[in-house]
Amino acid sequence: MTTAYIESPLGLTLIKGDEKGVSQISCLDGVCGGPAQDGLPLDEPVAQAAQQLTEYFAGTRQTFDFLISPAGTAFQQSVWQLLRAVPFGTTQSYLELTRHLGDEKAIRAVAAANGRNPLWIVVPCHRIVGSDGSLTGYAGGLWRKEWLLKHEGAWPVSVKGKASATAPGQLSLF
């Protein structure tokens, strides 16, 4: 397992993985600077992730194609797979996500799986919003979610033809 760090507009980003794929991408709060890597030669998927995330933040990349290997339950994996299908520059509600799974009653479980996503940005949980277009909880902080949506041109959020610009401090559970 190797680790790389990249600077991003949202803070220092940690990338962990091995030859099987990247298992963790997260933004570190309260940390400035840091080593470019952990001293070991980077496994190829980690090096590719660092490069592709740098391109994403520079505005020259919209999709990612390096190997990933996030650890999670079968249900979490199915939710994360659906998240990867939400295109750059768009949003989807938790309710829409549960409908794709075929069980609207699973909305809380879907929200919990979304919150346990170990691959920040690459599995784009930031693209999931409330049914009214409001920003909802985000592990990296709502200010980061708003920044990412603006970066992708998906802010303000449009829901069924209506624009919503809920302030980051206003939360909607679903």
Distance, in Å, from the CA atom of 138 to the CA atom of 114, rounded to the nearest integer, reads 9
**Pick from 16, 74, 11: nearest CA to 46:** 16
DSSP state of 173: -
**Chain centre to alpha carbon of residue 68:** 13
| Both structure tokens of 142 | 């709502």
**Pick from 11, 18, 14: nearest CA to 37:** 14
> Sign of torsion, CA 77 87 24 29?
negative
Residues belonging to the active site: 125
Peptide bond preceding 124: is omega within 30 degrees of 0, i.e. cis? Answer: no
Is residue 25 within 8 Å of residue 13, measured between CB atoms?
A: yes
